[in-house]
């Protein structure tokens, strides 16, 4: 496939946005990532309480599995959301699509905070919980690829890796904030008031976060790459199945890499707190504290990985980080499973640093595989399919494997197996860090 080299007219590869405007773009995208993932994972941090409030009390393990099954339902909706928001973003622009995404997430998260419980309305309580989770999944489907694409298409080519990694790293800040809010509410109110009404507070806080995100996103302009593509009256008119077939290799690579990313991230951010509380009997406060430290470590590692990918390429950083993850995953679980705070911090930290080095360069590597006119469509569908199959099921399968085997390392063995299989695919991914985002098909 030919790529664009000219810089003399509308067919030129955009050179990036000026520094002031670029800062606004990065802030708006980073805040969007923060809001989306705060809203999405606060459910996981509240899982043990939601299991008691929205499901029958006869079997605590079954209730927890049901709670994580509803968690997974949100990811299933991401398949549909990836298609919808991907097509909207490619056809009508990144900016307006991202504003709609953050609005839907805010409404659905506040909705959970307002729901009546099982004791109040019976079976309708979990049904309404599922509806809210479906809306959360619909929204989350478009945020990561939409925000990352928005930043990538504004950033100078030599800094795309670090710019997108910085934006994407705020997906860790949302869970940190969610954990701290849950920690503050549980500590400040005590068990009885938290169970009675305090559990609603972390969800209701989604409203002001979303409003701030919408306001800031209204202040930024559309991406130069999208505007250049639209100026040539190119769009994405062909059916989506034809588009996916045309880029089937790129779609496969995106799916595999996203499977690794989602499994690792949602195990760390969506399951590890519950694992520490139910398996190692660590206190709620200690489990939340250690998870926050791990997510801060991942935040820093993601930015390092993005920087290194601008220097040395996407592929070597991804492969190196994957090998490090395979090496550290089982020892990390062994340490975290010892049942004390220091070991939990160290064990999760090992997993988080290796994962962060992989997550940092990942989004830009995926986006650079596709031309602008189908970037969101192809990336969103394949990313969200992987997230639905591997990220959404991570807490459920981990809980199930522990109950089935009574082996605390069962989740680690499962993840290592997936990582080893995926390694065989990643060695074949093309290097893209010098590839223009506008390709010939965008402009002719």
Looking at residue 401, its pLDDT comes to 87
Least confident residue range of 14-28, 211-225, 278-292: 14-28
Residue 50 has pLDDT above 50, yes or no: yes
Q: Are 203 and 112 in contact (CB under 8 A)?
A: yes
Using DSSP, state whether 428 is helix, strand or coil.
Answer: coil
Domain ranges of the chain: 19-443
- CA dist., res. 377 & res. 257, Å (int): 17
Q: How far apart are the first and last CA of the chain?
A: 13
pLDDT, average across residues 391-403: 81
Looking at residue 441, its pLDDT comes to 58
CA angle 420, 426, 432 (to 5 degrees): 160
Most confident of 164-173, 264-273, 387-396: 164-173
With bands split at pLDDT 50, 70 and 90, how would you rate the model's confidence at 10?
A: very low
> What mean pLDDT, rounded, does the chain reach?
83
Tokens 């395979």 correspond to: 326
For residue 410, how many other CB atoms are within 10 A of its CB? 19
Q: Are 168 and 363 in contact (CB under 8 A)?
A: yes
- CA dist., res. 224 & res. 231, Å (int): 10
Q: Are 359 and 264 in contact (CB under 8 A)?
A: yes
Residue 317 has pLDDT above 80, yes or no: yes
pLDDT in tens, 318-352: 999 999 999 999 999 999 888 889 999 999 999 99
Measure Cα distances from 245 to 148, 249, 251, 358, 436 in Å.
23, 9, 9, 27, 22
Instruction: Write the DSSP string, 185-208.
Output: HHHHHHHHHHHHTGGGHHHHTHHH
Looking at residue 413, its pLDDT comes to 92
Looking at residue 206, its pLDDT comes to 83
| Chain Cα centroid distance, residue 117 | 28
Of 444 and 198, which is predicted with more confidence? Answer: 198
With bands split at pLDDT 50, 70 and 90, how would you rate the model's confidence at 4?
A: very low
Burial class (CB in 10 A: 0-12, 13-18, 19+), 219: exposed
CATH number for region 19-443:
1.20.1250.20
Residue 364 has pLDDT above 90, yes or no: yes
pLDDT in tens, 234-253: 555 566 777 778 888 999 99
Looking at residue 444, its pLDDT comes to 54
Of 368 and 394, which is predicted with more confidence? Answer: 368
Of 364 and 394, which is predicted with more confidence? Answer: 364
Query: What token pair was written down for 200?
Result: 């609603």
- CA dist., res. 62 & res. 55, Å (int): 9
Give the pTM: 0.80
pLDDT, average across residues 115-142: 84
Of 61 and 326, which is predicted with more confidence? Answer: 326
Phi/psi for 127 (5° steps) reads -65, -45
């Amino acid at each position: 496939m030919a790529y664009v080299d000219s810089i003399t007219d509308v067919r030129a590869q955009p050179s990036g946005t000026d520094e002031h405007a670029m800062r606004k773009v990065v802030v708006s995208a980073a805040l969007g990532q923060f809001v989306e993932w705060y809203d999405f994972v606060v459910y996981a941090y509240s899982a043990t309480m939601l299991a008691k409030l929205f499901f029958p009390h006869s079997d605590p393990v079954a209730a927890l599995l049901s709670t994580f099954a509803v968690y997974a339902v949100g990811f299933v909706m991401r398949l549909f959301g990836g298609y919808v928001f991907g097509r909207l973003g490619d056809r009508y622009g990144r900016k307006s699509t991202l504003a709609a995404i953050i609005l839907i997430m805010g409404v659905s998260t506040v909705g959970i905070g307002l729901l009546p419980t099982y004791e109040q309305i019976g079976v309708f309580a979990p049904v309404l919980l599922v509806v809210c989770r479906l809306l959360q999944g619909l929204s989350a489907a478009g945020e990561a690829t939409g925000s990352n694409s928005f930043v990538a298409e504004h950033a100078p080519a030599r800094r795309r890796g670090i710019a997108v990694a910085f934006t994407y790293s705020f997906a860790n800040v949302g869970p940190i904030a969610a954990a701290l809010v849950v920690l503050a509410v549980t500590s400040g109110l005590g068990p009885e008031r938290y169970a009675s009404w305090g559990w609603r507070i972390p969800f209701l806080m989604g409203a002001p976060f979303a409003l701030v995100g919408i306001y800031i996103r209204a202040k930024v302009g559309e991406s130069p790459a999208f505007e250049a593509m639209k100026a040539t009256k190119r769009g994405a008119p062909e059916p989506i199945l034809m588009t996916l077939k045309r880029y089937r290799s790129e779609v496969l690579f995106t799916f595999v890499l996203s499977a690794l990313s989602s499994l690792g991230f949602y195990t760390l951010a969506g399951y590890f707190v519950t694992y520490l509380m139910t398996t190692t009997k660590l206190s709620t406060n200690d489990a939340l504290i250690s998870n926050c430290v791990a997510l801060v470590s991942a935040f820093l590692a993601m930015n390092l990985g993005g920087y290194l990918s601008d220097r040395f390429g996407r592929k070597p950083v991804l492969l190196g980080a994957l090998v490090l993850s395979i090496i550290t995953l089982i020892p990390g679980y062994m340490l975290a499973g010892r049942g004390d705070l220091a070991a939990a911090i160290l064990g999760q930290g090992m997993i988080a640093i290796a994962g962060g080095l992989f997550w940092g360069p990942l989004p830009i590597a995926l986006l650079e595989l596709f031309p602008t006119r189908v970037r969101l469509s192809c990336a969103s569908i394949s990313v969200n399919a992987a997230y639905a199959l591997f990220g959404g099921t991570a807490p459920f399968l981990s809980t199930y494997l522990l109950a089935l085997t009574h082996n605390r390392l069962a989740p680690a063995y499962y993840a290592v197996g997936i990582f080893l299989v995926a390694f065989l695919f990643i060695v074949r991914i093309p290097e893209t860090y010098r590839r223009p985002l506008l390709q010939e098909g965008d402009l002719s």
